[in-house]
Amino acid sequence: ACNKRRGSSGKTVDGTHDDVDMDDVTATSSEPEYDDDGDDDVEESSDDAQNSPNEQKPTHEVISTLVALRRAKQLGLDLVEVNARADPPVCRLMNYDTFRYAQKVKERSAKKKLVERRRHDQTKELKLTARISPNDVKVKANKASQFLNVGHKVTLRVEFKTNDGVKQSLRPKAGAVLFTEFRDCLLNEFGATHVVIQEGKMVGPSHMTITLAPEKK
């Protein structure tokens, strides 16, 4: 027997699948036919109907549920209700298992892209000190360039200490100078083009941060 399966908002007759994309409803059929068997009318569609190049056939027709089920059986397809709120309800003839497989492939692909995008949207943090050596700046800049090259944002955090010789009132200026040196090293030594998305600012009395992002090409 042929199955009538429901979509995201329809009812089910002899079927249990229940999540059909409403945007996939397309209606193709030939001449309308009517039954007087008392069944509810449905608007039916079929993917297998072919139109002659010289003749434009109607894109849909209103027929009874029984006729739609019979037609689906003849074609070896499922009758899927895709819009129960329409008057009459809209159905589509399709191979439901093939359709669901294609939908799952799309969902897996979309999920993979989302995970990849989230991975690239991560913000990495590198810690610096006010008395960091030029060689250590180069090492940190190399690490930052690797993060930027794969799409990550990078936050630089300078930690000031009481024994680093920088007065508290001079810390913002000292941090700005260090950030400038770091960015110059990024660009000149590693070719890591970038933009500042958060300017350098003090975070409490002992830390200063700046956030960089890859430059869009």
Residue with tokens 């027709």: 61
* pLDDT tens-digit series, residues 181-211: 999 999 999 999 999 999 999 999 999 999 9
Q: How confident is the model at residue 54 (pLDDT cuts 50, 70, 90)?
A: low
Q: Is the pLDDT of residue 59 over 90?
A: no
* 94-to-20, 124, 171, 172 alpha-carbon distances in Å: 11, 48, 69, 67
Residue 56's pLDDT is what? 60
DSSP 154-171: EEEEEE--TTSS--GGGH
Q: Average pLDDT for residues 33-59, to the nearest whole number?
A: 46
End-to-end CA, the chain = 58
Mean pLDDT of the chain: 78
Separation between Cα atoms, residue 165 and residue 168, nearest integer Å? 9
Separation between Cα atoms, residue 93 and residue 44, nearest integer Å? 7
Tell me what percent of the residues of the chain surpass a pLDDT of 90: 49
* pLDDT tens-digit series, residues 10-33: 333 344 344 433 333 333 333 334
Q: How confident is the model at residue 112 (pLDDT cuts 50, 70, 90)?
A: confident
Task: Answer yes or no: are the C-beta atoms of 94 and 27 closer than 8 Å.
Answer: no
Separation between Cα atoms, residue 217 and residue 209, nearest integer Å? 25
Q: Is the pLDDT of residue 113 over 60?
A: yes
Q: Is the pLDDT of residue 172 over 80?
A: yes
Residue 87's pLDDT is what? 87
Q: Average pLDDT for residues 133-153, to the nearest whole number?
A: 93
Question: pTM of the predicted model, to two decimals?
Answer: 0.49
* DSSP state for residue 150 in the 8-state scheme: T
Separation between Cα atoms, residue 191 and residue 72, nearest integer Å? 63
Task: Answer yes or no: are the C-beta atoms of 100 and 117 closer than 8 Å.
Answer: no
Say if strands 153-159 and 194-203 run parallel, antiparallel, or are unpaired. Answer: unpaired
Q: Which of 54-58, 87-91, 126-130, 170-174 has the lowest mean pLDDT?
A: 54-58
Task: Answer yes or no: are the C-beta atoms of 68 and 27 closer than 8 Å.
Answer: no
Which SS3 state, helix, strand or coil, does residue 77 take?
A: coil
